[in-house]
C-alpha cells in the first residue's frame, strides 16, 4: 500500500477513477487534497439522559442541524465539539482508500478536525462528515468554505467497496433533522 503523491492523484482524477466535486487544482498539495467546510453543521444538544453507545445509535437524535449562510460563522468554545461536512463530494475506486487529516495551521490553535474515524473506505461516494473540536483555550470562529482538512489517498491491496448507511450523505441531508 502506498500514499498517492500529487502527480498520481492528478492521473487518477484525469482518468476519472478519483472524483472530487467540485475540484480546483489549487486544492492539491504534495500528497493530499484540501477539502472545505460546507454551510451545514450539527451542534450537540444537552439532554437529561445517558447516551447508549450501541449500533442503534443515531447521532441526529443528540444534535441539532443548522445551515450557516455564506459570510456568517459559528463559534466553538474551548472543550466543545460540533459536526460539519465537506463541500466536496469524494468518490473513490474500489482499490483506493483514504484518510482525513486536519491542517496544521488550525491544529496549532487547538482546532482538531476529524479526531476519530478518519479512515475512508474504498468505493466511497459522499461528502465527508467532520468531527470538529476546540481543544485550545480560545473561542474559535469557524467559517464555511474554509479548507480545514486534507484527504490523503492510499492504494489498497485487493478491492473493496463501502456501501454503508452514510454512502450517499450530502450537506443537505446532513443538517436536516
Q: Supply the residues annotated as catalytic.
A: 131
Count the Cβ atoms, other than its own, within 10 Å of residue 54.
6
Secondary structure (DSSP) of 111-173: EEE--S--EE-TT-EEEEEEEEEE-SSS-EEE-TT---EEEEEEE-SS-----STTTT--HHH
Residue 64 phi, psi dihedral angles, 5° rounding: -125, 125
Q: Bridge-partner residues for 67, per DSSP?
A: 40
- 31 is written with which cell numbers? 500528497
Comparing C-alpha atoms, which of 133, 129, 138 is closest to residue 169?
129
Q: What share of the chain is helix, strand, coil (3-state, %, to 5)?
A: 15, 40, 50
Under DSSP, is residue 7 helix (H, G, I), strand (E, B) or coil?
Answer: helix
Please tell me the distance from the alpha carbon of residue 118 to that of residue 101, in angstroms, as a whole number. Answer: 7
Amino acid at each position: 500500500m502506498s500514499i498517492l503523491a500529487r502527480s498520481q492523484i492528478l492521473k487518477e482524477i484525469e482518468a476519472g477513477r478519483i472524483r472530487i466535486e467540485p475540484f480546483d487544482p489549487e486544492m492539491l498539495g504534495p500528497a493530499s487534497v484540501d477539502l472545505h467546510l460546507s454551510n451545514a453543521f450539527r451542534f450537540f444538544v444537552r439532554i437529561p439522559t445517558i447516551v447508549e453507545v450501541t449500533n442503534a445509535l443515531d447521532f441526529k437524535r443528540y444534535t441539532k442541524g443548522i445551515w450557516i449562510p455564506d459570510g456568517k460563522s459559528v463559534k466553538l468554545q474551548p472543550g466543545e465539539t460540533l459536526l460539519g461536512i465537506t463541500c466536496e463530494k469524494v468518490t473513490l475506486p474500489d482499490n483506493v482508500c483514504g484518510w482525513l487529516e486536519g491542517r496544521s495551521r488550525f491544529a496549532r490553535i487547538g482546532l482538531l478536525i476529524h479526531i476519530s474515524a478518519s479512515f475512508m473506505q474504498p468505493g466511497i461516494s459522499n461528502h465527508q462528515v467532520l468531527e470538529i473540536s476546540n481543544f485550545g483555550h480560545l473561542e474559535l470562529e469557524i467559517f464555511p468554505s474554509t479548507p480545514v482538512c486534507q484527504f490523503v489517498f492510499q492504494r489498497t491491496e485487493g478491492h473493496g467497496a463501502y456501501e454503508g448507511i452514510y454512502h450517499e450523505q450530502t450537506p443537505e441531508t446532513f443538517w436536516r433533522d
